[in-house]
Amino acid sequence: MTLLRQNRELKRLGIWNWSLPAFAGKLPDGRNYNACPSAGICAQVCYARNGTYLFPQVKARHQDNLRWTMDDLPDWQHAMLDELSHKRFIDAWVRIHDSGDFYSRAYLTAWLEIMRARQRTRFYAYTKEVAAFRELVEPSPPRNFWWVYSYGGTQDSTLDPDTDRVADVFPDEQAIADAGWHSQEASDLLAVLGPAPVGIPANNIAHFKARQAGRRWSRWQAGVEAARAARRTGTQPATAAGGDRSGASGDPQ
Residue 241 scores a pLDDT above 50: no
> Nearest-5° angle of CA 101, CA 103, CA 107?
105
Instruction: Report the range of poorest mean pLDDT among 49-53, 59-63, 238-242.
Output: 238-242
Residue 249 scores a pLDDT above 50: no
Beta pairing, strands 24-26 & 32-34: antiparallel
- Residue 67: predicted pLDDT: 98
132-160 residue pLDDT tens: 999 999 999 999 999 999 999 999 999 99
- Residue 234: predicted pLDDT: 86
Report yes or no: 59 and 26 within 8 Å, Cβ to Cβ. Answer: no
Buried b / exposed e over 114-128, threshold 16 CB at 10 Å, is bbeebeebbbbbbbb
Specify which residues 177 forms β-bridges with: none
Mean pLDDT of 58-74: 97
Residue 222 scores a pLDDT above 80: yes
Closest CA to 54 of 205, 167, 156, 158: 205
Band the pLDDT of 239: cuts 50, 70, 90: low
Band the pLDDT of 237: cuts 50, 70, 90: low
Residue 51 scores a pLDDT above 80: yes
* Segments in 43-121 forming alpha helices (H): 56-71, 73-84, 105-117
DSSP label at residue 104? S
Q: Determine the Cα–Cα distance for residues 220 and 137; give it in Å rounded to an integer.
A: 28
Mean pLDDT of 175-188: 98
Residue 246 scores a pLDDT above 50: no
Peptide bond into 197 cis (omega under 30): yes
Mean pLDDT value across the chain? 93
- Residue 9: predicted pLDDT: 84
Closest CA to 49 of 69, 19, 28: 19
- Residue 244: predicted pLDDT: 42
Q: What is the pTM of this model?
A: 0.91
